[in-house]
Structure 1
Amino acid sequence: MNYNQHKPMKTPGLSPVKPNHRIQILDIWRGFAVLGIFVVNIEIMNVVFMNQDVFSEQSSGPFDTVILRISQLFFYNKFFPIFSFLFGLGIAMQLEKLKLKKKNIIFMLKRMLFLWIIGILHILLVWGGDVIHLYAILGVFICYLYRLRKRCLLILATYFLLFPFYDLIAEYIFSWINFSPEKVLANYDFNAVTEILRNGTYTEALNFRILEYFSNLPVLLIALAPIAFSMMLYGAAFVRSGQLLNLENFIFKSKKTFIWLAIITNMYRLIFLFILPNFDMYRDDFFNPIWFKLMVISDTFFGVFYIWLIAWLWFTGKLTGVLSAFQSVGKMALSNYILQSIIGVIIFNGIGFSLYQKLSLAQCFFTAIGIFIFQVILSEIWLQYFKFGPLEWCWRCLSYGKLFSIKKERS
């Protein structure tokens, strides 16, 4: 499987907390991740996985090549780990609050159940590239594993990140249940998919997207789930260690470590892109999975570097005006990422502008940036009048089993 082509799918933000108890940097991290995720996912909305090779051969230009390299170095596979880390961190924070209130874990299990339902509805009604339901399932395990000591959490996180045999396990399971993901879309070719998504009805496009979800199960289970689970465990361990309570000091003390992390991981990315393909061992059946595994690990830890870098800029007072713009989007991360899916359907499918496979890589990139700027403005306006994003409010009410006021009191 070519993990370099399998880009991260959408993912949710952290569990909502009371507005007056929010940690600003967490919202900034979320908002930054919302931008990065959409830069990647808009390409999948424009061209589904099964059509990407043919499309790139037909439409790649010099400027697209530059954008591709930028995306490979700074976007692909970097933001999914950030969301996963923050999700695990958010669950751990909620569990610590439950401890103080002497409440049991049932509340968190309810939250994960309703998050799973939101994810399934996202798949059924909007877009098949959802991982919210996966996050909800993995979140249940995090709720129970958080009882372990920090060292145990770190060992488990590292094990799940480095474990090399996910492909073989998935192949065995699919064979055992007689499921063949590649046969799910056997009746669709390049032209048929293009016609359905560009000019078809909402129902036709939706039916295809659901089938596409099942055909992409290997990506979900082999490429995404292990990274998500390991990073959730790292996030939980970070809370367990107490470093979150002394975050500013941790950020300054770890400067050299994270700079070296960025240098080493991006050096491997450059080697992977420009040097390794020139050697036969890159294509060797034994070594090829190793190179890709190292690439996934490098991208994951470069995403961790992003987390550190944003916090360092924030605590040193650099670019605070720019970083503050991410905060409002981060407060409504769940609503904003669902909104991105809705906007994508309108842009690319037949119910909207029918631009499926009509945008170049560069046009997708700048469209994502433009839409994110729109989301910054919209989020700022929304939060002037309301306490929560609309989906955050729904999730909160369902989790607590009561109706909260969403409007801000006007003085």
Structure 2
Amino acid sequence: MTATTPLSPTEVAARYHALDLIRGIAVAGILIMNIYAFANIYAYYVNPTALGSPSDIDLFTWLVTHIFADQKFYTLFSMLFGAGIMLMAQRAKANDMPSAGLHYRRMFWLLVFGSIHAIFIWYGDILVTYAIAGLWVYFFARNTDAKTKLIVGSIFVTIMIGLMSLLALFAGDAPAEDMSDMINMFTPSPEYIAQETAVYTTDYTSQLAHRTEFFLANLPMMALFFGLFRIGGSMLLGMGLYQLGILTAERSRSFYIKLMLIGFIIGFGITAYDTYSLLESKFDLNASMLSFMSLNSIGAVFVALGYIAVFCLWFKSNKFAAFRKRLEAVGRMAFTNYITQSIICTLIFYSHGLGLFGQLDRYQLMIIVAVIFIAQLLWSPWWLARFHFGPLEWLWRSLSYGRKQPFRKV
């Protein structure tokens, strides 16, 4: 490629397959937690006692998902998003090409897709936050070393967790009227439960109004605080890990074993303390806030590092290669699969579909997760055997590059 050749999307042969593998696993991990918010009121996501005393199997399901999935996979996915930005910037630099224009077009269209998703499909969208965070993390992509990215990313995540810890610790001192929304987020009143349930068990117009209000009310917090510090910081960590060859399985087996042990000992240690505190306090407001905003959040970063090590060790071992290839295909179509999960779940739970909102236990939701992900394991390689990209990946690329990309394989 010469200096005058426009940038083009990464070809299959040039892809880092380890990134695809980790991304594919993260897509499944994200659904494990997201389905709680699809299937019930938001408080159900963060508090297993929000609707009353849970059954033993319901509490056990919460326990497993809280320890192994909650915040872990969206942290991992944020790191991978940062790595993707870094990959594009490196390719541009290697070919002496400016990449800023392409990057900002990609973020603009991601913002458009995310806004459509958040308003018309599901209020729990993360794409808008990714697009906004992607605007500023790009400044670190081309001209800073890995150490700088890791330090700045760690500082940003620490700032977020520190501020949230202070909020959680002193929440009891705030007037109840000032804390009403936060209280209902963790320990909702019967009236609040009925109100939120009614939105998704009546008609699509009510859902649309609720999602629009939620989107506009939470956009500043998501973009300027959570997106800036937590998501943006995780993206910078991912950039640094990519630059060091950690995310692409380029380090030694002994390195990944050490990373796994350190990540899991610290991460699961913090998560175990967090889980004990929640159970011991019977999920009172302060413990729930401290868990959601601080303890589980910092534990998730270390667990995500441990997961990276495990998945890279698997990639280097070449065991279960056929299954791994299917996961890689899911990862290559992560955008399409993420949106597909939202469409399927809203059709299962919301009133314009099967209307099962608030009717299933947590263990039953995990069965739905398994069915959806098995379907994606089957359809993703089938699709990519016939097409160069997933349908949404193709559309995003075509819009970003300003020209129609090849779609169907000859």
Shift of residue 320, structure 1, vs aligned partner: 3.0
With the length of structure 2 as denominator, give the TM-score of the two structures.
Answer: 0.83
| Residue number among 85, 90, 98 corresponding to 2:92 in the alignment | 98
Shift of residue 244, structure 1, vs aligned partner: 5.8
Matches of 1:384 and 1:134 in 2, distance apart? Answer: 32
Once the two structures are superposed, residues 287-312 of structure 1 have per-residue CA deviations (whole angstroms, 9 ceiling, x without a partner) of: x8499523311122101211110110
Aligned: 1:165 with 2:163: yes
Distance change >3 Å, CA 236–CA 330, structure 1 → 2: same
Shift of residue 129, structure 1, vs aligned partner: 0.8
Once the two structures are superposed, residues 297-343 of structure 1 have per-residue CA deviations (whole angstroms, 9 ceiling, x without a partner) of: 11221012111101101211333333332111111100000001101
Q: Tell which deviates more after alignment, 131-140 or 290-299.
A: 290-299
Shift of residue 133, structure 1, vs aligned partner: 1.2
Distance change >3 Å, CA 219–CA 95, structure 1 → 2: same
Matches of 2:17 and 2:80 in 1, distance apart? Answer: 13
Once the two structures are superposed, residues 114-162 of structure 1 have per-residue CA deviations (whole angstroms, 9 ceiling, x without a partner) of: 1111111111221111111111111121211222232221211110111
Amino acid at match of 1:118: F
Distance change >3 Å, CA 272–CA 381, structure 1 → 2: same
Partner of 2:72: 78
Partner of 2:28: 35
* Contact residue 268 and residue 298 of structure 1 kept, 8 A: yes
Q: Tell which deviates more after alignment, 399-408 or 225-234.
A: 225-234
Q: Tell which deviates more after alignment, 210-219 or 156-165.
A: 210-219
| Residue number among 27, 33, 44 corresponding to 2:37 in the alignment | 44
Distance change >3 Å, CA 23–CA 400, structure 1 → 2: same
Distance change >3 Å, CA 283–CA 342, structure 1 → 2: closer
Once the two structures are superposed, residues 56-85 of structure 1 have per-residue CA deviations (whole angstroms, 9 ceiling, x without a partner) of: 434721111111111011111110111111
* Contact residue 165 and residue 290 of structure 2 kept, 8 A: no
* Contact residue 81 and residue 304 of structure 1 kept, 8 A: no
* Contact residue 181 and residue 215 of structure 1 kept, 8 A: no
Shift of residue 29, structure 1, vs aligned partner: 0.8
Aligned: 1:153 with 2:149: yes
Matches of 1:168 and 1:56 in 2, distance apart? Answer: 24
Identity of aligned residues (%): 27
- Within a 5 Å distance, the mapping from 1:290-305 to structure 2 comes to 293-305=294-306
Matches of 1:367 and 1:65 in 2, distance apart? Answer: 18
SS at match of 1:269: helix
Aligned: 1:206 with 2:202: no
SS at match of 1:385: coil
SS at match of 1:355: coil
* Contact residue 51 and residue 190 of structure 1 kept, 8 A: no
* Contact residue 251 and residue 308 of structure 1 kept, 8 A: no
Shift of residue 189, structure 1, vs aligned partner: 3.0
Gaps of 5+ in 2: 1-7, 171-177
RMSD of aligned residue pairs (Cα, Å):
3.4
Shift of residue 273, structure 1, vs aligned partner: 1.4
- Within a 5 Å distance, the mapping from 1:54-65 to structure 2 comes to 56-58=50-52, 60-65=54-59
With the length of structure 1 as denominator, give the TM-score of the two structures.
Answer: 0.83
Number of positions where the alignment pairs a residue of Structure 1 with one of Structure 2: 384
Distance change >3 Å, CA 225–CA 130, structure 1 → 2: farther
